[in-house]
Structure 1
Amino acid sequence: MLEEEKIDDGMTGGQIIPINIEEHMKTAYINYSMSVIVARALPDVRDGLKPVHRRILYDMSAELGLSSDKPTRKSARIVGDVLGKFHPHGDSSVYEAMVRMAQNWSMRYPLVDGQGNFGSMDGDSAAAMRYTEARMQKITDEVLADIDKDTVDWTGNFDDTMLEPKVLPTKIPLLLVNGSSGIAVGMATNMAPHNLSEVVDACCAYIDNPEMECEELLRYVKGPDFPTGGLIYGYEGVKEALISGRCRVVLRARTEVEHTPSGRECIVVTEIPYTVNKEQMIKKIAAMVNERKIEGISYINDESDRNGLRIIIILKPDAVASVVLNTLYKNSELQTSFPVNNIALVNGRPQLLNLKELIHHFVEHRHEVVVRRTRFDLKKAEDRLHIVLGLLIAQDNIDEVIHTIRAAKNPEEAKAALIEKFGLSDIQSAAIIEMRLRALTGLEHGKLVAERDELERQIAYFKEVLADVSKQMEIIKEELQEMKAKYGDERRSEIIYSSEEFNPEDFYADDDMVITISHMGYIKRTPLTEYRTQNRGGVGAKGSATRDEDFIEHIYVASMHNTMLFFTEKGRCYWLKVYEIPEGTRSSKGRAIQNVIQIEPDDKVRAYINVKRLTDEEYINNNYIVMCTQDGTIKKTKLEAYSRPRANGVNAIVIREGDQLIDAKLTSGDAEVLIAARDGKAIRFNENTVRAIGRVGAGVRGISIEESDAVVGMICIEPDSKQDVLVLSENGYGKRTDLEEYRITNRGGKGVKTINVTEKTGKLISIQAVTDDNDLMIINRSGLTIRTAVEQIRVAGRATQGVRIINLREGDAIASVMAVPKSEEAEETVPSAEGGEAPATESTQE
């Protein structure tokens, strides 16, 4: 399609030229697009700033003098100055850009120091610019440092009345540390912020080895580091974003599980994902709770204050925190994604950049700045030296100089005479004419000589720098390290790895851990080395901080790489890696087991088995799980039936009403089984007498007991084992007995006496299989623990009452007993009953 365009030639009164409207529209749109891309929406790869940000910072620095050590000025004054001199757009675009540079939740390293209401994370807008004031942050002084030393190119402003910089000579890689976002025409950029310390280390590593691959730089830059902190879920997205420049990074809020004063569980949110509006997020969660799209939440409240963000989500009594949290991640902004798209202007053209390219362009920019700055300083020093040398000539010939000047009719004639008589330059002669009489003193002469020497030294250094690229790069590194020392800080965003991305075992040493589970269901892992050996009869060391009504009920030992099978008293089985259990000190309470594995609120873990090779077909088909219940039922199932972990667990044994699971053991299929009851009876039979059945089944009779009696434990001793049978009563009496003293009987019988139960000993509490290479770890209901060597406990007859193993305070009783590997550490000093410190001593044998 053609359209006529009238062009006035000034003589004929106009000329009609036909044009192609399609081509004209295409050209006009391309020009508009490039204007938006280059002059508005995309940052420059060198200083990481868009034109509006660059103009604001330059105006605050050069035009208004609002450096970090100067008083603040009205924002309206700053905006007006920027509009009138450099940025002929709407005032809101300039003010909003300045406000964002002052918000510490929007920028990782804010560039503007704002005074007044500059908005909030709830989406509140800043106060009008007539009410707020601003100046530059201290870090911004480094962004504009040396701008007056011909370090960057300049261009005319919109009306060519003054100059503005095309780029700022920043010492800080702003594009990486603060990121950027913008929508141009046909393209957009969305760059994540990073940690300054990590980026500086990566830049220095690149300077040392420019040939290094992008993957090698990942050792220094771990990933984005958002100003609002939070969690980055999954490393693959982070890695892809840094290597390719484009990917999606998943962000999660940082949460903790706490308890209200009434004991209710609550999820506490302390950090939210980047760019999320806190108020809107809370409203959406509340709306979903009211609409029953999210179950298990009874109350949500924002308790944030000047000390930090804090959102409280109180759960219903029967809710499981981990389940509710996963639902929130799925349905609310507690989990969002950040689409990384690293597009920036390189030589005026938009380009997709990876981490190495971003660092390369910044280092090249800094290299140019250092070279141009050094040239400027060199010229300035040479010019000054030229004048100083002329002044020294004048001082050395002061009488002739004075006579020549006095004889001249005017300054121009005096300058010409000095040039002719002393061989001076025009600049030198002008400086001599302007010289004051005080310069004739001996002190001033000494100052000029010292200045000359210093200038000569500086000039030699500048020339040396300009002649050696390695020295230039060393200067860049030194200045970067200075920026890191001044402004570097710790990471705020933590990167957590999803299970499918890596083998978590590679991150944990295979150390032995003590797993403790309290009566009220709190679990933790503690390094075994924290528990040190005491002599038999010791009082014990404090083992766990529990509530008054709580006590440690189960204690197990496993290595970090083991897979643990948890068996509950209701007969269900759950899986967990040891490193997934929350770590705690020996005195800490631990974490509610419902937050670690998804067991029912009224269920308890009763037994645990640790295995390493659930994927080994031969191993899982030739080993068995033997379970025993409180009423004496025993069940045997192949390990293979429990080799496929499920998050919600599986049924392991059918539990009849009024019964519960007591213990479960891993066996080879040929073990000797001993089951002991509270009244002091124990039965021994071979595992072969129990037929292996599937997971769905109730088992068979293991021991016959009275209605008032109950099974306290089961041990399984393998044929080649040298283990003895160790029994312990609730009042602290115990003994070791040779296995052969227990005769083999038919499964389902009443058994034989294993300990002489008296009022002094109390009922039987535990049966363990031990050797001299074991220690015995005992925890009582008050939370005290003692670890004593098994070899200190003498071997006694089957029907005796044994010796005192642990001294119990009045009203206390043993809660849990476990045989653990022997410790090589020395005897530990423990608190005595009177509150002082005394070494544990051996009790008199009964």
Structure 2
Amino acid sequence: MKGKYKAERDKAQEFKIDQMFRENLENVVPVNLEDEMRKSFIDYAMSVISDRALPDVRDGLKPVHRRILYSMFTQGYSSDKAYRKSASTVGDVISRFHPHGDAAVYDAMVRLAQDFSMRYMLVDSHGNFGSRDGDPPAAYRYTEARMAKLAETMMLDINKATVDFRPNFDDHHVEPVVLPTNFPNLLVNGSVGIAVGMATNIPPHNLRETISACIYLLDHPDATVEELMQFIKGPDFPTAGVILGTNGIRETYKTGHGRIVVRANAEIVDGSPAKIIVHDLPYMVNKARLLEKISELVKQKRIIGISAIRDESDRNEDVRIVIELKKDANPLLTLNQLYANSQLQDAFNAHMLALVPNADGALVPELLNLKSALQYYLDHQRQVILRRTQFNLEKAQLRQHILEGLKIAVANIDEIIKIIRASKSESDAKVNLQARFNFSDRQAQHIVDMRLGRLSGLEIENLYQEYDEISRKIAEYTEIIEKPAILDGVLKTEITQVAEQFGDERRTEIDPFGVDGIDDESLIKQETVLVSLTNNGYIKRLAADTYNMQHRGGKGVSGMSIKEEDRIHKMITASTHDDIFFFSNSGKVYKLRAYAIHEASRTAKGTPIVNLLQLEAGEKIVEILAVPEAEEKRSLVLVTKKGLIKKTRLNEFSNINKNGKIAFALRTDDELCAAALAPDEATVIMATHTGMAVRFLIDKIRAVGRKAYGVCGIKLRADDYVIGIVVEQPGEDLFLLTEKGYGKRSVFSDFRLANRGGVGVKAYNCTDKTGNLMAITSISDAYDLIIMNDEGMTIRISSSEVNVQGRNTQGLRLMRSEAQVADLARILHTETAENEASATDVAGESLT
């Protein structure tokens, strides 16, 4: 029965609803659902874009930030007053200006007060406002805040009609559409926001650099982005770090969109065990989450060699992360793995989107490049100064008008008093004065209200002085309004004062040769440089004229500060535009442009090569070779310590990625030791550690692929190994250098042509006095030789000082050193080097 009653009740309810629908059918307006959804969504999207997520290009602020600062300004929370509860600011903002929740307002205010989020803070805070570990701020009832001094400059002259005001959400108050802002805040502090269908991510910049670029743009309206980048080198993050490469910076500044790679500053501290100490972090990286991620990577064995991680950062947010390593760990490899797998190296994906005023004054989103961002700001500042000057002019003209009436009154004071005394009332006196002296209503009122004390001699003198001063100001205001050049001069003066008062030094370093290097090689000067590599993997680039010319037999000068357990492994000369091939002991080849190797001083240790190449665990660079630009006709000849040789066409090495490519399929217990470029018809000499050498034609070796094995080049005796290979050049001789600094020249024809695979002939008479052979090259009198020992001492001598001697001789002492000679390089002789040598009174000893 209950079911029957329920069915009848439901049926009656349906009938009633149907009846109501039919009665109101004439009030229903048919609407296309697709059109209604489109309209509603667009309205919502534009509301989010213009009223929430995107900053205004003129003051660089979103509406919530602008309302927070204006609320503090109107309540008098200035930097010279006491801190006030954050709750009072949040409450005022949501009650008068911001129709959203208190959490959104407080979060926005907190960001304005964080020194790790803002390059230049706009809110001065007191209390817990969060940390870079991701700790939330204390509730707004516990914290206090006031305007920062820099934020006060954003409000200057706001009450002089410099900007427009609009009604708030309930029409009970007014708020500024934009702030006057006498510094380019959009670029200086950057901005982050996600709207509907679009987002912005503008990096912060250095205040001094940005204002310098503004001044240059004022003086050179047709300046290019490249010219402006002379002043703005790149973003300047509050958390410091190092920007790797300039590709992303240039792309961002030219197009408004780019990828900027930032790396933390870290140093390796020797000890037992060694440590890696991190001193800063990339922008917006959460420190606590970073440490958790590194711990996970260590557990997953994606990062090896770490035994412990400690966060020793202080309460002032100075970062100090200590990473302790295992005893057998390679610090350089571990650091490279940290950069590759964790946020110690992170990318800032810049997208410089902001709201800009169109011709109708409406704000529309626009992707900005560096010049347009600066230009919009300068246009805004011109408008601010123009409106302020117009306000001051009108006020000065009104005062001048009053003073003109007072001057007439003072000159006719007796008659003025007589007219006032004879008048029945104040209004009657005004009418009588206007009729007699043709005063305006404002002038007449002011004269009637004038105190008798103003009639003293001193007051009359002040009156005339004030009139002259007002007339001078009116002339200045008029000149500013009528002459754009004068207005720009005022603009330059004002923003320069801001830069001098609030500017500071750049925090973020820029490594122009980091990551992918730079994309415009025409910006790199083509010059000869020295590239040296140590046994522990430190590499550096030096100018070719770093070492002065000396005479043979000297001690040399200090060439590198190296550790006791480290030593020089390889040294070559190259052009800055050459490709440098790096060959590892596992038979792989890597490639870098010479300019991508960091330039260092003569005594500097250099840069860990694992920061430049993606080496595998246990892999070590054993040979480096300079390959000139557009070199395709020659082949790459590779030799191993056990006497194998292989020839491969150079074009097979044209595309080498960061992970390298296989260059030689090695057999067990063998490794690469030398490489050279040779044409097919060339003659080569392979030499061994004990002084044996074999000379043969390279065309006897068939060219094979990269992954192929080699063939026998020279038969080795017991305990002997190959040290290098030389390609015979017309007009040059063979040069041989021993471990104890002895060397000699020999003509190539002294070595008979033989077939590859032979034992060879004696090339150097190695003794206990000379030591065994350690390096060979080809030279002529057009070259100088640069020799370096294991202690980093370096000597540069002319090839002409090395005599030509026979095969089975001991040679001459070229470098006097107790340490073992490490490597040599040849470099073209220059007149500068010769003059420096002639200026030296004695041999190389005087340079030690």
- For normalisation by structure 2, the TM-score amounts to 0.82
Indicate how the Cα distance of structure 1 residues 808 and 310 shifts in structure 2: closer, same or farther if over 3 A, else same: same
Instruction: Quote the residue 1:788 is aligned against.
Output: 797
Aligned partner of 2:573 among 545, 551, 557:
557
The DSSP-based 3-state class of the residue aligned with 1:353 is: strand
Within-5 A mapping of 1:621-640: 623-640=634-651
Q: Does 1:137 pair with 2:153?
A: no
Aligned partner of 2:72 among 34, 53, 60:
60
**What runs of 5+ residues in structure 1 fail to find an aligned partner?**
6-14, 831-836
Report which stretch shifted further, 429-438 or 147-156: 429-438
Within-5 A mapping of 1:574-589: 574-589=590-605
Instruction: Quote the residue 1:833 is aligned against.
Output: none
Shift of 1:364: 4.8
- Contact 2:278–2:319, Cα closer than 8 Å, also in 1: no
The DSSP-based 3-state class of the residue aligned with 2:591 is: strand
Indicate how the Cα distance of structure 1 residues 285 and 341 shifts in structure 2: closer, same or farther if over 3 A, else same: farther
Q: Does 1:815 pair with 2:822?
A: yes
Q: Distance in 2 between matches of 1:235 and 1:778?
A: 35
Instruction: Quote the residue 2:469 is aligned against.
Output: 454
- Contact 1:630–1:662, Cα closer than 8 Å, also in 2: yes
For residues 725-753 of structure 1, the C-alpha deviation after alignment (integer angstroms, 9 at most, x for no partner) is 33333333333233333444555555444
- Contact 1:194–1:223, Cα closer than 8 Å, also in 2: no
The DSSP-based 3-state class of the residue aligned with 2:831 is: coil
Aligned partner of 2:527 among 489, 492, 511:
511
**What runs of 5+ residues in structure 2 fail to find an aligned partner?**
1-16
Q: CA RMSD in A?
A: 4.4
Instruction: Quote the residue 2:135 is aligned against.
Output: 124
Shift of 1:66: 2.7
- For normalisation by structure 1, the TM-score amounts to 0.82
Report which stretch shifted further, 429-438 or 215-224: 215-224
Instruction: Quote the residue 1:386 is aligned against.
Output: 401
Shift of 1:459: 1.6
Within-5 A mapping of 1:791-810: 791-809=800-818
- Contact 1:829–1:840, Cα closer than 8 Å, also in 2: no
Instruction: Quote the residue 2:728 is aligned against.
Output: 717
Aligned partner of 2:621 among 590, 605, 624:
605
- Contact 1:2–1:20, Cα closer than 8 Å, also in 2: no
Shift of 1:283: 2.7
- Contact 1:189–1:343, Cα closer than 8 Å, also in 2: no
The DSSP-based 3-state class of the residue aligned with 2:725 is: strand
Indicate how the Cα distance of structure 1 residues 632 and 162 shifts in structure 2: closer, same or farther if over 3 A, else same: closer
Q: Does 1:541 pair with 2:557?
A: yes
Q: Distance in 2 between matches of 1:503 and 1:81?
A: 51
Instruction: Quote the residue 1:147 is aligned against.
Output: 158
The DSSP-based 3-state class of the residue aligned with 1:626 is: strand
Instruction: Quote the residue 2:4 is aligned against.
Output: none
For residues 339-381 of structure 1, the C-alpha deviation after alignment (integer angstroms, 9 at most, x for no partner) is 6654567678562213276666545544443332222111111
Q: Distance in 1 between matches of 2:688 and 2:297?
A: 52
Q: Distance in 1 between matches of 2:20 and 2:212?
A: 62
Instruction: Quote the residue 1:771 is aligned against.
Output: 780
Shift of 1:220: 7.5
Within-5 A mapping of 1:355-434: 355=368, 362-402=377-417, 415-434=430-449
Indicate how the Cα distance of structure 1 residues 413 and 664 shifts in structure 2: closer, same or farther if over 3 A, else same: same
Report which stretch shifted further, 77-86 or 17-26: 17-26
Indicate how the Cα distance of structure 1 residues 223 and 762 shifts in structure 2: closer, same or farther if over 3 A, else same: closer
The amino acid of 2:163's aligned partner reads V
The amino acid of 2:783's aligned partner reads N
- Contact 2:273–2:324, Cα closer than 8 Å, also in 1: no
Instruction: Quote the residue 2:7 is aligned against.
Output: none
Shift of 1:548: 0.9
Within-5 A mapping of 1:463-502: 463-468=478-483, 471-472=486-487, 475-476=490-491, 478-488=493-503, 490=506, 492=508
The amino acid of 2:603's aligned partner reads S
- Contact 1:238–1:249, Cα closer than 8 Å, also in 2: yes
Aligned partner of 2:366 among 353, 357, 365:
353
The amino acid of 1:533's aligned partner reads M
Instruction: Quote the residue 2:679 is aligned against.
Output: 668
Report which stretch shifted further, 298-307 or 578-587: 298-307
For residues 633-686 of structure 1, the C-alpha deviation after alignment (integer angstroms, 9 at most, x for no partner) is 444444344444254444444555555444222222333333444444444444
For residues 109-139 of structure 1, the C-alpha deviation after alignment (integer angstroms, 9 at most, x for no partner) is 3222222222222222222333332222222
For residues 32-86 of structure 1, the C-alpha deviation after alignment (integer angstroms, 9 at most, x for no partner) is 777666655555554444443333322322x322333333333233334445544
- Contact 1:731–1:813, Cα closer than 8 Å, also in 2: yes
- Contact 1:152–1:167, Cα closer than 8 Å, also in 2: yes
Report which stretch shifted further, 44-53 or 289-298: 289-298
- Contact 2:545–2:833, Cα closer than 8 Å, also in 1: no
Shift of 1:266: 4.3
Instruction: Quote the residue 1:9 is aligned against.
Output: none
Shift of 1:522: 2.3
Q: Distance in 2 between matches of 1:259 and 1:439?
A: 79
Shift of 1:839: 5.2
The amino acid of 1:608's aligned partner reads I
Q: Distance in 2 between matches of 1:113 and 1:537?
A: 67
Shift of 1:445: 3.1
Indicate how the Cα distance of structure 1 residues 838 and 72 shifts in structure 2: closer, same or farther if over 3 A, else same: farther
Indicate how the Cα distance of structure 1 residues 350 and 614 shifts in structure 2: closer, same or farther if over 3 A, else same: same
Q: Distance in 1 between matches of 2:556 and 2:75?
A: 71
The amino acid of 2:674's aligned partner reads D
Indicate how the Cα distance of structure 1 residues 522 and 191 shifts in structure 2: closer, same or farther if over 3 A, else same: closer
Q: Distance in 2 between matches of 1:615 and 1:798?
A: 33
Q: Distance in 2 between matches of 1:133 and 1:566?
A: 58
Instruction: Quote the residue 2:286 is aligned against.
Output: 277
- Contact 2:281–2:344, Cα closer than 8 Å, also in 1: no
Instruction: Quote the residue 2:341 is aligned against.
Output: 328
- Contact 1:189–1:342, Cα closer than 8 Å, also in 2: no
Shift of 1:769: 1.8
Shift of 1:187: 5.5
The DSSP-based 3-state class of the residue aligned with 2:737 is: strand
Shift of 1:538: 1.6
The amino acid of 1:258's aligned partner reads I
Q: Does 1:190 pair with 2:200?
A: yes
- Contact 2:550–2:844, Cα closer than 8 Å, also in 1: no
The amino acid of 1:725's aligned partner reads L
Aligned partner of 1:70 among 81, 104, 116:
81
Indicate how the Cα distance of structure 1 residues 593 and 466 shifts in structure 2: closer, same or farther if over 3 A, else same: closer
Indicate how the Cα distance of structure 1 residues 259 and 577 shifts in structure 2: closer, same or farther if over 3 A, else same: farther
Q: Distance in 1 between matches of 2:641 and 2:194?
A: 68
Q: Distance in 2 between matches of 1:519 and 1:248?
A: 38
Q: Distance in 1 between matches of 2:222 and 2:779?
A: 60
- Contact 1:179–1:190, Cα closer than 8 Å, also in 2: no
Q: Distance in 1 between matches of 2:822 and 2:611?
A: 24
For residues 448-475 of structure 1, the C-alpha deviation after alignment (integer angstroms, 9 at most, x for no partner) is 2222122112222323333445554554
- Contact 1:534–1:828, Cα closer than 8 Å, also in 2: no
For residues 225-263 of structure 1, the C-alpha deviation after alignment (integer angstroms, 9 at most, x for no partner) is 654455778988877877777x67565543546355336
Sequence identity of aligned pairs in percent? 39
- Contact 1:674–1:685, Cα closer than 8 Å, also in 2: yes
Instruction: Quote the residue 1:10 is aligned against.
Output: none
Q: Distance in 2 between matches of 1:797 and 1:690?
A: 28
Q: Distance in 2 between matches of 1:67 and 1:825?
A: 63
Q: Distance in 2 between matches of 1:191 and 1:654?
A: 48
Q: Distance in 2 between matches of 1:266 and 1:506?
A: 37
Instruction: Quote the residue 1:841 is aligned against.
Output: 843
Shift of 1:545: 0.8
Instruction: Quote the residue 1:532 is aligned against.
Output: 548
